[in-house]
Amino acid sequence: MKKILITDDVHPLLYEGLQQAGFEVHYKPTIKPAEVLDGINEYEGLIVNSKVYVGKEMLDKGTQLKFICRAGSGLEVFDLDYAQQKNVIAFNSPEGNRLAVAEFCLGALLNLMRNISKADGEVKNREWKREENRGFELTGKTIGMIAFGHTGQTFARLLRGFDVEILAYDKYYHNFTDKHVSQASLDEIFGKADVLSLHLPLTAETNYMIDYKFLSSFKKPYWLINTSRGKVLRTEDLLKCIAEKKILGAALDVLENEKINQLTEAEQATFDKLTTIRQIILSPHIAGWTHESKRKIAEVLLAKIHKIYAV
């Protein structure tokens, strides 16, 4: 019987569906990465989220592996080139959480522009500052998106009701201009955007792509949202641009190091700065984390695994 290992918490639909299809499923959401490595030679399939990195050592030891997949959207947890060399199929499930992330982006953007979190903290501290929290309306603004995959496209669809201009830049995806979204160059986004929303995968190419030069290239002050990966954005450069009033505010659902209790001294200093700036909203990588997306991710993975085996 074909064995599949699931290393993280997933919706029961996934492991129950795999069992019904005839697979032997080992569901071990508390397993440690070292334990995965020790036993990986037993499995044809491996389903992970973020705690297990599937690199050369794992792929070499997983002599029976036919597929590896991510219960989520990022593929940075896999050595994709080496997996291809080993004839191991690698895939993810961005279709499952794209709506969750897009809705979060919309909520975060409205929060930033209307000072909702800032005002909430002030009122709870018995500060009643109406004029200081006078916000901006989203309607009529220009939204710049960097990368236009599953999430960017879904966010664009949600924004249609706000009568905004949407400019999207994607190095690898082209010819997507329609009546709602215009394919744009970076220079066009730098020149017109009121909002910058990042939807980049983390790769060698995008690692710290959003640095001071990039952030300071915009012609007018803007709001920034990052729900992609923390290491596409250099946090110190973001802080510098906020101090220089180039950036009006930022919503960060992802950080360079998300193990916030294991920060280096330098990382801790940067994190402390983030927590003192009221124009910054922080959340613990929850944009794609809804009850609905948990089920949808399971449905997507189940369908893709069935397709591999033609179940």
Q: Report pLDDT digits (tens) over 239-286.
A: 999 999 999 999 999 999 999 999 999 999 999 999 999 999 999 999
Separation of alpha carbons 55 and 57, rounded Å: 6
The domain locations on the chain are 3-93+291-309, 137-278
Please tell me the predicted confidence (pLDDT) of residue 311: 58
Catalytic residue list contains 295: no
Could you report the per-residue pLDDT of 64-103, keeping only the tens digit for each?
A: 999 999 999 989 999 999 999 999 999 999 999 999 999 9
The pLDDT assigned to 118 comes to 94
Q: What is the pLDDT of residue 177?
A: 83
Fold: same for 3-93+291-309 and 137-278: yes
pTM of the model: 0.94
Helix (H) or strand (E) holding 265: helix 265-276
* Average pLDDT of span 109-138: 97
- Which of 26, 114, 157, 285 is flagged as catalytic? 285
Strand order in the sheet with 45-48: 24-27, 3-6, 45-48, 67-70, 89-91
**Spatial CA neighbour of 196 closest among 246, 258, 133:** 246
Whether 258 is catalytic is yes
Q: What's the pLDDT band for 203 if we cut at 50, 70, 90?
A: very high
Q: How far apart are CA 251 and CA 287, in angstroms?
A: 11
Per-residue tokens: 217: 């290239």
From the candidates 70, 229, 234, 256, give the one annotated as an active-site residue. 229
Return mean pLDDT, the chain.
96
Looking at the domain that runs over 137-278, which CATH code has it been given?
A: 3.40.50.720
3-93+291-309: CATH architecture: 3-Layer(aba) Sandwich (3.40)
Does pLDDT of 1 surpass 80? no
Among 258, 278, 292, 306, the one annotated catalytic: 258
